[in-house]
Amino acid sequence: MKALLLIDIQNDFLPGGALAVPDGDAIIPLVNQLQPAFELVVATQDWHPADHKSFASNHPGKILFEQIDWQGLPQVLWPDHCVQETAGAAFASGVDWRRTEAIFRKGTDPQIDSYSGFYDNGHRKATGLAAYLKGRGVKEVYLAGLAADYCVSYSAMDSLAEGFATFLIEDATRAISMEGLEEARKAIREKGGQFVRSHNILAG
């Protein structure tokens, strides 16, 4: 059983959004083409309260994109993004969401960030995604979405740790930083993750 995970394809990560991923909208047609090749489609949604500690605005005196230590974890200070119930947090309208059977929200605890769709960054609390996928009989997890070097890569690492065969669909993701992506790519490969392109999947 193969599942397609659509990671954080939300307005704030698209061009014009609060934390726009360069060329992020280029993945949308691919995400739609890929869906019929999967028996299960699941999405994650970055869903922060306005007082979230990953926002630079909640750390007076700190600057955007600075990395700080917050409660024992490194934390990049992001622009306010994906605030619960705002238009920026909504799923991108160009994506066909009809086959998305479940949505796992993350980043809801104001004190800790959550890049992965499986766990917060301290691995303290599970979202329930791993248990859900196992309950559905999933063995293979394919990832698409935004951003490649943050939420997609962190989700891939946790997917591997949870024992799923894990495939990152390279042309169905875009990165915030190319250096960050290169590092993440190495770590994922070391753990046995694979990189594929959508034509490999669509060709059958």
Residues marked active site are found at 8, 106, 151
Residue 8 binding ligand VGL, by CB under 6 A: yes
| Contact status, residue 89 vs residue 47, Cβ threshold 8 Å | yes
Looking at the chain, list the stretches that DSSP marks H as alpha helix, in order from N- to C-terminal side: 28-34, 129-135, 153-161, 178-190, 198-202
Bridge partners for 73 per DSSP = 70
Q: Candidates 38-46, 68-76, 98-106, 154-162 — which segment interacts with Zn ion by CB under 5 A?
A: 38-46
Residue 184 binding ligand VGL, by CB under 6 A: no
- 126, two tokens: 């599970």
- Return the residues of window 17-76 that contact ligand VGL according to CB under 6 A: 46
**From candidates 3, 9, 18, 146, binder to ligand VGL by CB under 6 A:** 146
**Cβ nearer to Zn ion, comparing 6 with 34:** 6
Q: Candidates 22-30, 56-64, 132-140, 143-151 — which segment interacts with ligand VGL by CB under 6 A?
A: 143-151
- 113, two tokens: 């960030």
Residue 147 binding ligand VGL, by CB under 6 A: yes
**Cβ nearer to ligand VGL, comparing 115 with 119:** 115
| Residue 169 dihedral angles phi and psi, to the nearest 5° | -85, 100
Q: Which of 167, 204, 164, 171 is nearest to 188 (CA)?
A: 167
Q: Candidates 29-37, 64-72, 147-155, 185-193 — which segment interacts with ligand VGL by CB under 6 A?
A: 147-155
- By a kind-dependent CB cut-off of 5 to 8 A, residue 104 interacts, out of ligand VGL, Zn ion, none, with none
**Cβ nearer to ligand VGL, comparing 78 with 118:** 78
Residue 120 binding Zn ion, by CB under 5 A: no
Q: Least CB distance from residue 135 to Zn ion, whole Å? A: 27
Residue 46 binding Zn ion, by CB under 5 A: yes
DSSP element (H, E) containing 145: strand 140-146
Tell me the C-alpha distance between 52 and 166, whole Å: 30
Q: Which of 43, 41, 154, 32 is nearest to 91 (CA)?
A: 43
DSSP string, 94-120: TS--TTEEEEEEE--STTS---SSSB-
- Return the residues of window 76-105 that contact ligand VGL according to CB under 6 A: 78
| CA 121 and chain centroid, separation | 12
Residue numbers of the site for ligand VGL (CB under 6 A)?
8, 13, 46, 78, 115, 146-147, 150-151
User: Which residues contact Zn ion (rule: CB under 5 A)?
Assistant: 46, 107
